[in-house]
Amino acid sequence: MTEVSGGLTSDGYAAYRWSATLPSRRHGSPASGPSPAELARTQHEADAAHLFELLTRSSCGHEEALAELYDLTSSRIYGLVLSVVRSTDLAATVTQDVYVDVWRQSARYRPGNGSVLRWVLAMAHSKAVERVRLASSSVVGEPVLE
C-alpha cells in the first residue's frame, strides 16, 4: 500500500512525502526470494558441477565433453597464459597444450583438491611459467632441456 501526503514548504514549493508498506526482505523468506548472493552461489555451484561432469566424461574418452569444457573455460585459460607469456602466438600454443594435458590427465583430477577450473588454471599457469623459463634460458645461452 502506498500513501502520498503533500503540502507547501515555507518557500511555497510543493512538498510530498511517500509512504509505502513493503514486504519484508528477511533472509530466506518466500516473499523476497533468494538474495543476489545466494543466486550467484547457486549458479557457481551448478557451473562447477557441470565442469566436473564434463571432465569426468572426457576421462572416459568423450571428445564432445572435452570440446564443451574447452568452450566454457578456454577464454579464462588463454587470458591467464597470455598474462604470463606476453605473446599471443605462444599463449595460443600453450593453451592448446594445456587442453591436451587435460585430456590425458583428466582421470587424475581429485575433487577434494579444488574445482575443475582451478585445476585447469593451475596446469595452465605451470605450463606458461615453464615456457617462459625455457625461452629465457635459451636467450641467455644456457642449453635448452626438453
At 78-92, the pLDDT tens digits run: 999 999 999 999 999
Q: Is the pLDDT of residue 93 over 90?
A: yes
Q: Model confidence over 5-61: pLDDT tens digits?
A: 555 555 555 554 544 444 444 554 455 678 888 888 888 899 999 999 999 999 999
Q: How far apart are CA 111 and CA 103, in angstroms?
A: 16
- 20 strand-pairing partners: 2
For each of the domains in the chain, give its residue range(s) and CATH number, in order of start.
35-137 (1.10.1740.10)
pTM: 0.70
Question: Given this model, what pLDDT does residue 39 score?
Answer: 85
C-alpha cell at 125: 599457469
